[in-house]
């Protein structure tokens, strides 16, 4: 449905991004922020799904600063390589890419962000630093940034059995961002990804329904 395009960043380096457009007039735009595994087939399906739901959707390839065309497997080697790339890219460049992607689809109307795992924390920072409404799926690196004041609405999705975000860390989110919307599912980490062992179809469907309702409220489209 979508296709890869090139977008400029603030540093004048072009990175690739996967973009998909809806069939009709857009309800707004959504920047999809990857996990540590790159803009792989799963993330492309997420982008395509938001386009089918009426949004211009785009996933910037955050690893392009270091290595282009990264698509990692959901195994130990993929996790190790993904973590190394995350450390090399850093949050500042990742957030710069989100801003560039938002600019690339600005004609769609109001822009929101959704992110998964590492991308969930990047999405959180998009709300605190860029003022973009954000949906955060199990952002496991967010705790150090929780004191930052949100400049836009936030929705958090957590897995109750997620070892990366234990109950104590969830409580820190609740305390630091009391204005946000929170949902906890009887699922593990990565429950939205249909190629991961922790995939939970029911939790993923409910989280998507809530995410679409959130974007409908804050980007101006009809409620899901």
Catalytic residue set = 162, 189
**Structure tokens of 4?**
């890869």
**Structure tokens of 60?**
């910037």
What count of Cα atoms within 13 Å lies in the side-chain half-sphere of residue 80? 3
Burial bucket for residue 36 (CB in 10 Å: 0-12, 13-18, 19+): buried
Contacts of 84 (CB under 8 A, 6+ apart): none
Distance CA 218, CA 214 (A): 6
């Amino acid at each position: 449905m979508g296709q890869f395009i090139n977008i400029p960043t603030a540093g004048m380096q072009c990175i690739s991004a996967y973009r998909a457009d809806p069939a009709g007039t857009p309800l707004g735009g959504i920047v999809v922020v990857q996990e540590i595994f790159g803009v792989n087939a799963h993330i492309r399906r997420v982008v395509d799904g938001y386009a089918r739901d009426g949004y211009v959707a785009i996933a910037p390839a955050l690893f392009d600063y270091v290595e282009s065309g990264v698509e990692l497997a959901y195994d130990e080697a993929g996790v190790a390589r993904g973590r190394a790339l995350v450390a090399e890219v850093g949050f500042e460049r990742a957030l710069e890419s989100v801003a560039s992607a938002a600019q690339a689809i600005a004609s769609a109307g109001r822009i929101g962000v959704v992110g998964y795992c590492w991308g969930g924390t990047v999405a959180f920072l998009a709300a605190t630093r860029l003022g973009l409404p954000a949906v955060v799926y199990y952002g496991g690196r967010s705790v150090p940034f929780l004191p930052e004041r949100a400049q836009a609405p936030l929705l958090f999705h957590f897995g109750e059995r997620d070892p990366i975000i234990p109950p104590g860390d969830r409580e820190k989110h609740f305390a630091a961002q009391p204005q946000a919307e929170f949902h906890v599912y009887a699922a593990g980490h990565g429950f939205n990804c249909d190629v991961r062992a922790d995939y939970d179809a029911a939790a993923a469907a409910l989280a998507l329904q809530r995410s679409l309702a959130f974007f409908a409220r804050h980007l101006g489209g009809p409620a899901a």
